[in-house]
Amino acid sequence: MRLLLRSSLWYTSAFLGSHTAFKSELVTQATTSYLIKTMHYQTEERGRPNSSDYRIYFKTSDGKYISPFHDIPLIADGDQENNVPSKKLKKNDNEVLYNMVVEVPRWSNAKMEIATKEPLNPIKQDVKKGKLRYVANVFPHKGYIWNYGALPQTWEDPNHTDKDTMCCGDNDPIDVCEIGTLVCSPGQVIQVKVLGVLAMIDEGETDWKLIAINADDPEAPSLNSIEDVRKSRSGHLEATVDWFKKYKVPDGKPENQFAFNGQFKDKDFAVEVIKSTHEHWRALLQKQTNGGEIDCKNVSVCESPFKFTGEDACNVVKSAPAGGEALPVSPEVDKWHFLSK
């Protein structure tokens, strides 16, 4: 068993009733005028990397196991009520930060994802037809071209038809493409600034792709909108559409489609999408909608009928396979795929 202490932190400051997100360097500057709460997220690996039994579990700094899907707050700098962000999400505010759970580091190929149907929702590698899934390298791309992950406490409801896409949700937390300069690690929790959103239609399901940047990235202060990305990073948004359009083609699937003719929607639109998926998650955790096989067990969401004890959570992790040496990865994962136009 291996413990990995991530540098992911979120800070909530209360001063005269207001709340502000603080970066780590500000903690040492705090005075008695401020009340600062610091949360360190750790990850614990179980099973063998590159195998179907590999899992990354999450825990707090005091050793309590949590679900990254349900127990990590959506808003990094928002008011909390019963461990759930306020229904009123801020809008038109560049300082709003969201927690992002990184599932896949940039340039890597393993399709790691939050296991929504398992207790405590660890990160695992997706399996299809008995084989571990790796995204293909569709020329000129290598693996994922951003740090890829999800916003906690969101859910794209498969029972809900989106008014813009006219398709139902894909039954997962909302996806995030983090476009910063730093390569993250699986299980890292970072604070991101949302810049816009792309509406992908994946086999008839709505699959929103948020575009965001790590708040600690050197370029974060200069990127505040999707237009900022377009102006300062020539080709990046076009490459993102191309990647999502073609990444399944080497596996024999058709090209993915997009709503809005593949155009990115702005930050205000993205915030409304986040609000909607957060409300669907709230309904899910309160058993007000049919979640199907989604595992809603959590340790912190008050009044949720799915809340269970820390001891129960500990038993979930103890029952997982012990850690071991990583298995080899097939050289096929590095193969280039050249698609005809």
Q: Assign residue 196 the CATH number of its domain.
A: 3.90.80.10
Q: What is the pLDDT of residues 214-240, one digit of tens each?
A: 999 999 999 999 999 999 999 999 999
Query: Regarding predicted confidence, which is higher, 117 or 11?
Result: 117
Domain annotation covers residue 31: no
Which pLDDT does position 36 carry in this prediction? 27
Domain annotation covers residue 247: yes
Are 139 and 336 contacting, i.e. CB atoms less than 8 angstroms apart?
yes
Domain annotation covers residue 180: yes
Which pLDDT does position 39 carry in this prediction? 56
Q: What is the pLDDT of residues 180-215, one digit of tens each?
A: 999 999 999 999 999 999 999 999 999 999 999 999
Beta bridge mates, 196: 211
Domain annotation covers residue 327: no
Share of the chain above pLDDT 90, in %: 82
Which pLDDT does position 340 carry in this prediction? 85
Query: Regarding predicted confidence, which is higher, 333 or 80?
Result: 333
Which pLDDT does position 77 carry in this prediction? 66
How many domains does the chain contain in total?
Answer: 1
Domain annotation covers residue 216: yes
Residue 147 has pLDDT above 50, yes or no: yes
Which pLDDT does position 341 carry in this prediction? 72
Q: What is the pLDDT of residues 150-170, one digit of tens each?
A: 999 999 999 999 999 999 999
The mean pLDDT value of the chain amounts to: 87
**What ranges make up the beta strands (E) of 115-188?**
123-125, 127-128, 131-132, 137-138, 147-150, 168-169, 175-178
Domain annotation covers residue 230: yes
* Spatial distance between the Cα atoms of 105 and 160, rounded to a whole number of angstroms: 30
Task: Give the domain extent around 201.
Answer: 95-107+134-308
Report field, pTM of the whole predicted structure over 0.75: yes
Length of the chain (residues): 341
Are 235 and 225 contacting, i.e. CB atoms less than 8 angstroms apart?
no
Q: Where are the alpha helices (DSSP H) in the chain?
A: 24-27, 226-232, 236-246, 267-285, 310-318
Domain annotation covers residue 102: yes
* Spatial distance between the Cα atoms of 224 and 310, rounded to a whole number of angstroms: 39
Q: How large is the average pLDDT for residues 46-55?
A: 98
Nearest CA-CA partner of 189 in 153, 221, 219, 228: 153
Which pLDDT does position 6 carry in this prediction? 41
Residues whose CB is less than 8 angstroms from the CB of residue 277 and which lie 6 or more positions away in sequence, other chains included: 151, 154, 155, 156, 157, 169, 173, 174, 208
| DSSP conformational letter for 21 | E
Q: What is the pLDDT of residues 61-119, one digit of tens each?
A: 899 999 999 999 999 964 444 444 444 444 444 578 999 999 999 999 999 999 999 99
Domain annotation covers residue 191: yes
Which pLDDT does position 34 carry in this prediction? 22
Residue 274 has pLDDT above 70, yes or no: yes
